[in-house]
């Protein structure tokens, strides 16, 4: 039995459930939240502000959508999701203008908001200061209020275990819609308490959410790039509400995850794209396992959104309490090396058990890069080079059309794909 350094007590999974106690072995203790160098976070936020990859990597996004639309079932699912989800996104965009519908009493409403969130089906709810350092440049002027309510909604267990699959993609998108509707209702509830509430749709992100979720004590960042929450690990969809309500902030927690991932490494070993880093690096002022985006996106595009790093995580499958208790008792990672945890099937490739990974052809990882305009110029240069440096009117016209297409593209983030933390 390992020596326990501290215990974390969290509310039970559902309202009325007894609280859960998570033992954190001493050897896994690091810091509450994530190791941070605030001066670096500040510097990067000023000099290299974050931007959504729906803009900066638009060329590969369009490419991936074309590939996914070649899958007949997925194309229909995506069309249906977009149709149903668009009104939720549009409604959320207007919530910042909504006036309160009652007078506030001036009392702290933290518990009222948290209880309502749980009644609406949110699994985790925590509150902290909204940190503008994590706002995308294109959304800089959008966020109005100083506090943020961080919300996580559970994605159903069974379909998630079939990742990557059509069933998992269906539950993935329907969870977003259910969550989006619940978030709008929570916003209206906050209005009824006498305060303003701006709902950030889970499909129209204002920035990378995870740092604020970690600050609000809802989990820690996993090696897979997802937030790992105590009850469901990465099997959650996240959204936020910013507000001017009278509330109390939560604090970051050391769940032991930051160190545990370095022992576990299951997602790193199972990733078909070899896209996850074994070791942590310092990136924009945070210590984390960084993702190789160029090795992830082609797999996500070709294999139903992939998500194998979510499916193979023991914390997703067994919960943090079971995983930590098992580690404390045995020094082993629960489920590691078993087909139950590590096995997966890739459509057209077959089944891969523990220790087995698919091999891809040369060219599998080739994809467009940069935003649409950058990629158009890149193609233009290649074609001009192939023509011996001769720039024809036809080439210029092609470039003009592509650049115009890029400039006129909507910047809506109606995108189900970017799940992994790409900051
Ligand atoms: S989603 Fe990306 S990082 Fe995760 S397992 Fe698939 S390829 Fe790897
Ligand atoms: S699979 Fe293991 S290494 Fe990967 S995120 Fe989960 S706990 Fe961390």
CA angle 129, 416, 81 (to 5 degrees): 115
Ligand 1 atom nearest to CA at 273:
7
Give the single-character DSSP code of 226.
Answer: S
Q: Per-residue pLDDT for 398 more than 80?
A: no
Q: Rounded mean pLDDT of 343-372?
A: 93
Q: Rounded mean pLDDT of 123-127?
A: 97
Q: Per-residue pLDDT for 395 more than 60?
A: yes
Select from 210, 225, 266 the residue to mutate for testing ligand 2; criterion: most ligand atoms less than 8 Å from CB.
266
Mean pLDDT rounded to a whole number for the chain? 92
- 215 C-alpha to ligand 1 centroid (Å): 25
Q: Rounded mean pLDDT of 323-343?
A: 98
**How much is the pLDDT for 294?**
93
- Specify which of 13-17, 56-60, 188-192 reaches the highest per-range mean pLDDT: 188-192
Q: What is the pLDDT of residues 257-284, one digit of tens each?
A: 999 999 999 999 999 999 999 999 999 9
- 56 C-alpha to ligand 1 centroid (Å): 20
Q: What is the pLDDT of residues 65-100, one digit of tens each?
A: 899 889 999 999 999 999 999 999 999 999 999 999
Please work out whether the CB of residue 306 comes within 6 Å of at least one atom of ligand 1: yes
Supply the range of the domain harboring residue 104.
Answer: 1-423
Please work out whether the CB of residue 313 comes within 6 Å of at least one atom of ligand 1: no
**How much is the pLDDT for 375?**
67
Ligand 2 atom nearest to CA at 224:
5
Please work out whether the CB of residue 299 comes within 6 Å of at least one atom of ligand 1: yes
Q: Per-residue pLDDT for 361 more than 60?
A: yes
- 328 C-alpha to ligand 1 centroid (Å): 28
> What SS3 string covers 279-342?
CCEEECCEEECCECHHHHHHHHHHCCCCCHHHHCCHHHHHCHHHHHHHHHHHCCCCCCCCHHHH
**How much is the pLDDT for 406?**
65
Which band of pLDDT confidence, cut at 50, 70 and 90, is reported for residue 175?
very high
Q: What is the pLDDT of residues 142-166, one digit of tens each?
A: 999 999 999 999 999 999 999 999 9
167-173 LR contacts (CB < 8 Å, sep 24+): 168/304, 168/305, 168/307, 168/311, 169/74, 169/77, 169/304, 169/305, 169/416, 170/77, 172/237, 172/305, 172/307, 172/416, 173/77, 173/78, 173/81, 173/85, 173/416
pTM for the predicted model, two decimal places = 0.91
**How much is the pLDDT for 296?**
96
In 3D space, the residue among 266, 251, 257 whose CA is nearest the CA of residue 230 turns out to be: 257
Please work out whether the CB of residue 301 comes within 6 Å of at least one atom of ligand 1: no
Q: Total structural domains in the chain?
A: 1
Select from 160, 314, 343, 421 the residue to mutate for testing ligand 2; criterion: most ligand atoms less than 8 Å from CB.
314
Please work out whether the CB of residue 92 comes within 6 Å of at least one atom of ligand 2: no
Which band of pLDDT confidence, cut at 50, 70 and 90, is reported for residue 411?
very low
**Ligand nearest 259 Cα, by number?**
2
Q: Kindly give, in sequence order, each residue whose CB lies less than 8 Å from that of residue 141, ignoring residues fewer than 6 positions away.
A: none
Select from 309, 312, 341, 352 the residue to mutate for testing ligand 1; criterion: most ligand atoms less than 8 Å from CB.
309
Q: Rounded mean pLDDT of 352-363?
A: 95
Q: Rounded mean pLDDT of 287-294?
A: 94
């Amino acid at each position: 039995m390992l020596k326990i350094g501290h215990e974390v007590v969290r509310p039970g999974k559902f309202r009325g459930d007894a609280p859960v106690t998570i033992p954190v072995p001493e050897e896994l203790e690091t810091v509450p939240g994530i190791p941070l160098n605030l001066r670096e976070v500040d510097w990067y936020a000023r000099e290299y502000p974050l931007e959504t990859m729906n803009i900066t990597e638009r060329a590969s996004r369009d490419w991936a959508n074309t590939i996914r639309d070649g899958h007949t079932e997925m194309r229909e699912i995506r069309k249906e999701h977009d149709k149903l989800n668009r009104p939720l996104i549009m409604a959320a965009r207007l919530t910042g203008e909504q006036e309160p519908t009652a007078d506030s009493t001036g009392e702290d409403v933290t518990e009222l908001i948290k209880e309502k969130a749980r009644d609406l089906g949110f699994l985790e709810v925590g509150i902290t200061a909204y940190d503008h350092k994590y706002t995308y440049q294109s959304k800089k002027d959008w966020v109005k209020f100083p506090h943020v309510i961080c919300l996580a909604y559970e994605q159903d267990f069974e379909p998630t275990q079939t990742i990557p699959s059509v069933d998992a993609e269906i539950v993935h998108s329907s969870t977003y819609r259910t969550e989006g509707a619940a978030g709008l209702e929570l916003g209206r509830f906050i209005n009824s308490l006498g305060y303003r509430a701006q709902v950030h749709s889970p499909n129209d992100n204002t920035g990378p959410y995870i740092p604020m979720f970690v600050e609000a004590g809802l989990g820690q960042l996993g090696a897979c790039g997802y937030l790992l929450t105590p009850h469901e690990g990465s099997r959650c969809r996240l959204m936020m509400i910013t507000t001017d309500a009278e509330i109390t902030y939560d604090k970051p927690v050391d769940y032991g995850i930051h160190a545990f991932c370095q022992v576990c490494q299951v997602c790193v070993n199972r990733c078909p794209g070899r896209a996850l880093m074994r070791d942590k690096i310092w990136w924009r002022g945070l210590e984390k396992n960084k993702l190789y985006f160029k090795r992830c996106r082609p797999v996500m595009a070709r294999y139903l959104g992939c998500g194998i790093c979510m499916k193979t995580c023991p914390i997703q499958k067994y919960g943090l309490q079971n995983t930590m208790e098992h580690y404390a008792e045995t020094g082993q990672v629960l489920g590691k090396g078993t087909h139950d945890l590590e096995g997966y099937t890739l459509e057209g490739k077959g089944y891969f058990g523990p220790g087995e990974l698919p091999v891809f052809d040369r060219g599998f990882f080739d994809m467009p890069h940069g935003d649409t305009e950058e990629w158009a110029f890149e193609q233009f240069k290649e074609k001009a080079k192939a023509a011996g440096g001769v720039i024809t009117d036809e080439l210029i016209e092609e470039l003009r059309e592509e650049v115009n297409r890029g400039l006129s593209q909507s910047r809506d983030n109606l995108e189900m794909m970017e799940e992994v933390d790409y900051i």
